[in-house]
Amino acid sequence: MIDTSRNEEKAPRIPPSQIGSTVPVSDNPEAIGALVAVTIDGIETRVPFGMTILEAAKTVGVDIPTLCNHPDLKVAGVCRMCVVDIEGQRTLQAACVYPVTNSLTVSTHTRKVRKARRHVLELLLSEHYGECYSCVRNGNCELQSLAEEYGITSFTFGHPQESQFEPDFSSYSVMRDMDKCVRCRRCVRTCIDLQEVGVLEAINRSDDTVIATFEDLPLGEVVCINCGQCVNRCPTGALYAKDETDAVWAAIDDPTKHVVIQTAPAPRSAMGELFGLEPGTAVTFEMNTALRRAGFDSVFDTNFSADLTIIEEGTELVQRLYGALVAGDKDVALPQFTSCSPGWVKYLEHFYPEYLPNASSAKSPQQMFGALIKTYYAEKLGLDPANIVSCALMPCSAKKFECNRPEMHDSGFKDVDFGLTTRELGKMFKEAGLHVPSLPKSDFDDPFGTATGSGVIFGATGGVMESALRTVIELVTGEKVESIYEHGDIIPVRGFEGVRYAEITISKVGPVPEILAHLVPDWEWLNGVTVKVAVAHGTANAKKVMDDIKAGGKFSECHFIEFMACPGGCLGGGGQPIPTTPEIRAARARAIYSEDKAYDVRKSYENPAVARTYADFLTDGPCGHKSHELLHTTYTARGKYIPQK
């Protein structure tokens, strides 16, 4: 039995076919579904009551420029780039916040409008210190693009000759250069509304307004979770991820170093965007070739350690459930939370530290791989781990913080030396003259070359949960997951709703597989149990779930919950190509699920490379002493959370 009920309601939606149609205007224009007549630049159309002029213009192919507006964020109307002329009104109005509630005639490019927009740009540039050539957003800056579109060739109101702000390099993940800030407040709205972290705010008033942290502390000293969502929505170079490409190039150029890289699934669904391809065009195997030509000695698939994570995290969940349901241990921390999103883990540490025992002790796939690279891999190749430089291609700026956490040295060295974002690696490829889409395809390197579809879908929200369920269902019931879900696709945990909930009743159990035989004698204690799971993406949605758990709501009855810090999961990570929109994230998700279907093996426990790793190296099995030493941050015994000593 599956309950796919959700805790969110969707607002009534106008069928797309009716927008811009000749459907008559309702006698009651405020009625749900009513259409209102509007004329934009001489084009007559009808749009839903309350739609903004900015949105209405898009329905008839009219582009109105903006700086503060973003499809992921609540409207603000602070930049005034989108001003339009409305017949009968004395002043220009901001199209992004002006709702169509009655018939309007709108002009979007009169002389008055064009002059106003040009002045807005010139005023912004009068406070914008620096030049474009050395800016991290050169060629992908919204302010730069608008200045070009409006023919700004001089600084009418002057131009700063010296910096007004000290750059903030205190964070491992996110850098701040407030000399380039246009005070659009996108970062503020991202941090407060989208993520509900609240690190950034606008302080002071009028031309003294600045974007600052609490008490104007450095970003590395406040409760920033390093998710980088502010970076993805900043229109200029005021916010950017820490760039470590020079250090990686130095390692590649050093003949004494053996430089390896692991690549996560989400960047492979987005890298093509940096080379002009449509979002959702995967370049997985072309990228492998590019990495070798760039100088990396070995190219590995993070999907391998994603499969390993499922085995370790799933085994830990079995231990916890056995402790709670069989041993009657009331101290078992349930529900178990996923721990592979470093932004989510940091959010939990800051805002709900009392629930840290609920977090899985399993490291993220990035860190598991890093620990194995400098132990298992080094042993197999006879390499000195001190001479191995371990890099990770990740969609996430928080991964930079994660690999610098003090507990991530279980190999005896820093497990992962450098976390590279999709944007950083794309820059490296271009610097090396490598046009990724035109390169031949090549596979990943052994001994970790084999991966599964379960590892691939880690890149999308719900992917960790689906991967876990594919494995758990088969190991517990002894039946193929395809007999329960068509093609093995567990649709109830997929999608972009903020929070998803599902129930799975185990009506049959099989024998305990050999890999778990040392943990439980049989599965009879699970026979008839309804396993309750949930998925949340974006920390604002995580907050809803956590507050519900604190209040003793339905999520407190879950056994396993997947949390991802970023909207859409890793495919919407803070290191992915800019821009990001709901449509772009959906396209990346399609690429990830398409790649999943292409794999012959789609369950983590069937990955032969994972089985070989347990047989050759992690010989005491999942959640054994060796795996706890390298792949976990805490010990878990009978479901209890016991800090590692």
Catalytic residue among 180, 242, 399, 532: 399
| Residues in CB range of 178: below 8 A, 6 or more apart | 164, 165, 167, 168, 210, 211, 238
Catalytic residue among 122, 313, 466, 595: 313
Strands 560-564 and 530-537: parallel
Sign for the pseudo-dihedral over CA of 21, 24, 26, 32: negative
Q: Among candidates 567, 572, 581, 558, which has minimal Cα distance to 193?
A: 567
C-alpha dist (Å) from residue 132 to 8, 128, 142, 292, 356: 44, 10, 12, 32, 44
Catalytic residue among 122, 142, 312, 402: 402
Return d(Cα 470, Cα 481) in angstroms, integer: 6
Return d(Cα 307, Cα 644) in angstroms, integer: 24
Does the annotation count 407 as an active-site position?
A: yes
Contact 571, 395 (CB under 8 A): yes
The angle at the Cα of 492, spanning 488 to 494, to the nearest 5 degrees, equals 85
Contact 436, 278 (CB under 8 A): no
Catalytic residue among 340, 391, 403, 566: 340
Does the annotation count 313 as an active-site position?
A: yes
Instruction: Give 145-192 as a DSSP string.
Output: HHHHHTT--S-TT---SS-SS--B--SSSEEE-GGG-----HHHHIII
Catalytic residue among 397, 570, 623, 627: 570
Return d(Cα 357, Cα 583) in angstroms, integer: 36
Instruction: Give the number of other CB atoms < 10 A from CB of residue 510.
Output: 13
Contact 275, 437 (CB under 8 A): yes
Helices 302-325 + 608-616 axis angle, to 10? 70
Beta bridge partners of 104: 38
Instruction: Give 74-104 as a DSSP string.
Output: -----S-TTEEEETT-SS-EETTT-B--S-E
Catalytic residue among 221, 407, 524, 583: 407
Alpha helices in 262-421 (DSSP H): 265-268, 284-294, 302-325, 342-351, 365-372, 378-381, 398-402
Does the annotation count 583 as an active-site position?
A: no
Quick one: tokens of 67?
């700086």
Does the annotation count 227 as an active-site position?
A: no
Phi and psi at residue 122, to the nearest 5°: -65, -35
> Which strand (E) or helix (H) includes residue 44?
strand 43-48
Q: Among candidates 571, 556, 459, 547, which has minimal Cα distance to 501?
A: 556
Residue 570: exposure state from Cβ atoms within 10 A (0-12, 13-18, ≥19): buried
Contact 226, 241 (CB under 8 A): no
Catalytic residue among 55, 273, 312, 316: 316
Does the annotation count 402 as an active-site position?
A: yes
Return d(Cα 220, Cα 202) in angstroms, integer: 19
| Residues in CB range of 486: below 8 A, 6 or more apart | none
Does the annotation count 595 as an active-site position?
A: no
3-state secondary structure of 357: helix
Catalytic residue among 171, 269, 298, 360: 360
Residue that has been written with the tokens 């197999």 in this structure:
380
- Catalytic machinery residues: 313, 316, 340, 360, 399, 402, 407, 570
